Structures are given as structure tokens and as C-alpha cells.
Structure 1
């Protein structure tokens, strides 16, 4: 019981001291930083999305009912592996028709050869004219051409029948399935999306007025993964040499290094284009206090107190620091812990 009474007594004494404006030593020791302008790289942020460098929408090439999917979204596939089976009855019927056409052309060719052989023997014995021999030769040439056409048609029909099995164009991952078994597939109908996960890039629609200031110099960029705050140095930056007539933007491709973890097609990222250096006021991100629409810093006023001052900041950098665009001057001291600074400021006002 005596221990409980002692604890309560100490808490009450602490509350009385705080109400009287006497801050505890722990609250008074707020870490600070003197802000100075420093040279740092300029960057322009742009919203972007991720896509795979090697991605393919696998589509049907013959009409028919979808019999089965051999894979589903998320499965790994190997080049040449069967992905979808289509009941290509029309293609099978076309192959049978082509086979019949080859048999018919073969019979006509046999007949034309026999006719030409007979005509050649009769011409040597002067029983027929040169014109009749030429006609037999033309009939043989036509039969041979018809045979070649029939064989080509059979090959084409065989290929069309093979289109009933949709195979993977490369090693990769299945990103999405666009149809279900039992549906009727038509030529060009998307069935699956397959991509290679090892190579990714960010796509940026760059306004042409901003591209004018970047033209003619090498481009460097960093990709910010918004979800986890990572910054990834771009392997290459390419601006396509044509603008969109509707949006008046240029498409920029920012290639990521190979095998980056945690980056998937369709993800939202932010691309920071780097160019030149300038003197900027950079402060640690944890020193910035954000409360709704308010963005502020606790600034030392020179009398041992902190004053909450609203500031305007830019996008965070790769090291977690942010640029103060307005509301702070070089040489001023800020609190690194806004919570402790707020408590100290409240204690100072109570005194």
C-alpha cells in the first residue's frame, strides 16, 4: 500500500510542476538542427505506372469453343507450353477439305502426265500436230501448278488446325486471364496476358512544355516506389520521338535495373527526373509536422522557445529529407522532434 501511495504522490507532484510551467529535463532536451543551404540535385517528379518490357497478350487465331485453360493467373510458364485448348472444328473440317483437294489434284496430274506422254509419242509418228502437243504440255503444267496449290492449302489448313492449341511465346508469368472455358473464341480475341518478370520499366506521359527544357541533354531519373518509399536508380531513360495528338504529351520509358523485387506491372510509382544542382534548404522528413492541411516546423525563436511556423515543402528525396520551399530561412534552428518541441512550447506558454 505504501508503494502505491508513493507512486500516486510522485505523479501528482509531476502534474503540479508541469502546470506551474516547470518542464522536466527530458522534455526540455529537444534535439535541434541549424538549417543551411546546400547544393543538391534538382528533380522534377512525374506520376508513372509500371509495365513489363516483355509482355504479350495471347489471342485466339481460329474460331472455336474454349475447351480448357491449362494455366491460370500467377502460374509460371515455359516457352512453347500449351496454355489454352480450343475446339477448332472448322479448322479440322478445312484440313479434311484440303486433303481431298490434294487427292483430286494428284489424280488430275497423273492424267495430264499420261496424256502428254501419249501426245508426245503420236507427235513423233506425225499423227498429231505441234499445236496438239503444246496443248498437252500446257495441260501438264496446269496440273502440276494445281497440285502445288493444293499442297500449300493442305499445309495452311494443318497450321490452322494446330492453332487450336495456344502456346506460350516465351518463359514468364501469367498476369491475367481474359476468358473462361466454354466461351466462343474468335480470331484476335484476348485469352491470356503473359509477361517476363525480370525486366520492368516505368511509363511517363511527359508534357511537351516540360520536355522542351530537357531536350538535347542526357536524362537521368530515379523511380520512387510510393508504397514503401524506396528509390531506384534508372538503368536508362528513353523519350519516344512522337507526341500524342490528343494529349500533347510525349511517352517516356524509364528502364529499371534487372530483377527488382516488389515491382509489378500496373503499380503506381513516381519518376524523378534529375538535372543540374541548386542551393536548397533540406530538412529531415521526421522534423515536418503534418496535421490535415497544415505543414509546419517548430523553429527556435532565440529565447529558448519553439514557435510553430507553417512552411511549404517539396517532394521527399531519396535520403528521406524534404526541401523547404517557403517559410524558413538559412541559419535558423528547427526542432528535430516536433512532438517534444510541441510539449516544450506548451510548457513555455504556461509559464
Structure 2
């Protein structure tokens, strides 16, 4: 093969290969753009027979109260921490977390041998002084009788009187020492100050109880309430004694509470007020659980359609709307269900439109 022919073939290859590559690229772009798919011209779709024979529903708007959910926590109005007033070793703890106690029940006993000895000593001191007091009183009475009969002198009467009052003062002091010793001894027995439930215990028998250190914590289950920080614009619409719906997601229930207290000072950081709402007693409620206050926030117009008129494609929701006798697929944004089984429409429909329902 001659040199000119080889050069012509090489030139042809250099031209044809880029052209073929360009053609293939254009075909791929057209395919990706959907040029080879069947296209549907814009317009209304022909309603299937099932839709034509189905019932229809005219969308109506209604005015309803709207509520704003505010995150809250359940707390106990009556809660207390049990601590010791003495530095003593713990002898016995009679309760554990979750136990129910009544006011006056013995919770913790501290070692009290030394305190009991002091009470006995103070009691004996009172007995000894009381004996002296009886003798001094009789001597003073006798001296007074002798003085009236002109037998004893004024000096003897005054001396008996002073001795009597001195011993009387000693008796009073001895009784006060006894009362103080008995009070100190009572500190060795820690009792429940309220009816309630033990939350936790922070010590064990054998530990040394420090004065002021917490040993137990308890609360009154009958005093549970909900506390929430409510934005100031919404909080100012509430009044003391107003009924508020409380949602309890953990136990999947709703309860009606009363506004018990509105703290008259806003939190400057969040611009909110602390609202406290009392709750009726429920055994399943515990302090610290999550709750939501449903606070009235005005009224709004809402649209509702039957639940069976809504169809779903993946995560999209749509309804069939009759427009000029033709069915038009309309994507909508759904809200919640009401008690009648109708679903609210947030967007996608307007009042008066007709949607097709299926039975």
C-alpha cells in the first residue's frame, strides 16, 4: 500500500472516530432527557371508572380552637430530704427506694448509747435536786410558821427563803438539762415528716452520718404537678384556676389540670414565665416524667376531608379533585385526624372544592 493511501486512511479514522463519539454522546443525552419515552401532553386525566362511580365530598372550612404544646416536667410539690443533726454511726435503715411511708414512721436509727446515758444522768440529777427542793420547801414553810409565832428570827426566815429559791432554780435548770438530753436523744431516731414515697437512700447501716448530710429523699405522690416555662405572650393569657389539658406521652393519656401558680417574674434569658399546673392523682405518674401543656392559642380555619379520599404514593399524599367534570390529581399536605375520622388539610385544597372519595 502506497504512502498516500495510508495517510488518507489515517485522516479518515481521525475524522470518523470523533464524529461517532459525538453521535453516541448525543444519543445518551437524549435518552437521559427522556426523548425516547412516551410523553403525556398537559391537561386533565380521564377519571377511571372507579373514580367516576365514587362518591364526592365538598371541602368545608370550620373554625376551631388551636393549642400550642409546651414541653413540661412532672414535679412533686411536697418533697423533702432526710438528714441527721448528729455526728453518729447509722445503726439501722428501715426503708429502701420505692417504699411507701406514713408521717411519723421510723426511717433511720442512729447509735444512741451515749445519748441514753446522758438522759439517765440528767434524770437522776433532777431526782436529786427535787429531793433537796422538797426539803427546802418544808424548811421554809416551818421557818415561816415559827416566825409568825415569834419563835424564829427574821434572819432565819430569810435564810430559809433564799435556800428554797436557790434550790428551786437548780431544779428548773436540771429539768431543762433533762429536756435537752431527751431532745438530743430523739435526734438519733429519724422519722418521716410527711406521708410519701422514698425516692432514694444515700447511706447504708454502718456509715457515719454527718450533721446536715442527706440520708434519704422522699416525696408525696398526691402532690404531683406539672411545671413548664411558657413564652410570655402565651403565659399572660393564663389565669390562676384555669383548666388546661396535659398530655402524658409516656403513658399515652391526657389529663385536665388546673393552673395552680404563675410565677410573677419572667426568665430574662428565655423571656418565659414558670407555670405550675396541678394534676389529679395517678399511680403511674412519677417525678421527672415528660409532659406537654396544651395551652389555648386562639382560633384558626381548618379544612377536613374524609380519610378514604386521600391516596399515597411513597411519602407523597394526594387527592382527586373534580375540576370541570374532570379528575385532577392534587398533592396535599396533611395534618391530624379528628374524632370523626376526617383528616385535616394544611395546604393543597381550598374551601368549596370537590374531592372524590372511595368506599
Query: Which TM bucket (shorter chain)?
Result: 0.5 to 0.7
Pair 1:52-2:72 in alignment:
no
C-alpha displacement of 1:178: 2.6
**Alpha carbons of 1:284 and 1:219: their partners in 2 closer, same or farther (altered >3 Å)?**
farther
Partner of 1:229: 252
**Alpha carbons of 1:64 and 1:152: their partners in 2 closer, same or farther (altered >3 Å)?**
same
SS, match of residue 95 in structure 2 = coil
Correspondence 1:50-89 to 2 at 5 A: 50-89=74-113
C-alpha contact 1:62 1:88 (8 A) present in aligned 2 = no
Partner of 2:294: 272
Pair 1:206-2:226 in alignment:
no
SS, match of residue 243 in structure 1 = coil
TM-score w.r.t. structure 2 length?
A: 0.64
Partner of 2:21: none
TM-score w.r.t. structure 1 length?
A: 0.65
C-alpha displacement of 1:267: 0.6
C-alpha contact 2:333 2:346 (8 A) present in aligned 1 = no
Residues 268-277 or 236-245, more deviating = 236-245
SS, match of residue 280 in structure 1 = strand
**Alpha carbons of 1:88 and 1:249: their partners in 2 closer, same or farther (altered >3 Å)?**
farther
Between the aligned partners of 2:159 and 2:297, the Cα distance in structure 1 is: 80
Pair 1:159-2:179 in alignment:
no
Structure 2: unaligned runs, 5 residues or longer: 1-47
Between the aligned partners of 2:89 and 2:344, the Cα distance in structure 1 is: 60
SS, match of residue 86 in structure 2 = coil
Between the aligned partners of 2:238 and 2:298, the Cα distance in structure 1 is: 11
Count residues with an aligned counterpart: 304
Correspondence 1:1-351 to 2 at 5 A: 36-89=60-113, 91-110=115-134, 112-113=136-137, 116-117=140-141, 119-120=143-144, 123-124=147-148, 125=150, 127-129=152-154, 133-134=157-158, 136-215=160-239, 219-234=242-257, 236-240=258-262, 242-243=264-265, 250-258=273-281, 260-274=282-296, 277-281=299-303, 297-300=317-320, 304=327, 306-309=329-332, 329-331=350-352
SS, match of residue 221 in structure 2 = coil
Aligned CA RMSD, in angstroms, stands at: 4.6
**Alpha carbons of 1:268 and 1:119: their partners in 2 closer, same or farther (altered >3 Å)?**
same
C-alpha contact 1:220 1:273 (8 A) present in aligned 2 = no
C-alpha displacement of 1:256: 1.9
Between the aligned partners of 1:299 and 1:58, the Cα distance in structure 2 is: 63
C-alpha displacement of 1:263: 1.7
**Alpha carbons of 1:335 and 1:268: their partners in 2 closer, same or farther (altered >3 Å)?**
farther
Residues 245-254 or 150-159, more deviating = 245-254
**Alpha carbons of 1:218 and 1:122: their partners in 2 closer, same or farther (altered >3 Å)?**
closer
Which is greater in Rg? 2
**Alpha carbons of 1:174 and 1:94: their partners in 2 closer, same or farther (altered >3 Å)?**
same
**Alpha carbons of 1:89 and 1:250: their partners in 2 closer, same or farther (altered >3 Å)?**
farther
Between the aligned partners of 1:134 and 1:288, the Cα distance in structure 2 is: 112
Between the aligned partners of 2:215 and 2:140, the Cα distance in structure 1 is: 54
C-alpha contact 1:204 1:253 (8 A) present in aligned 2 = yes
C-alpha contact 2:198 2:219 (8 A) present in aligned 1 = yes
Q: 1:129-166 deviations in whole A, cap 9, x for unaligned?
A: 36x63454244234223323322331332233233222
C-alpha contact 1:62 1:91 (8 A) present in aligned 2 = no
Structure 1: unaligned runs, 5 residues or longer: 1-23, 338-351
Residues 264-273 or 200-209, more deviating = 200-209
Between the aligned partners of 2:343 and 2:130, the Cα distance in structure 1 is: 81
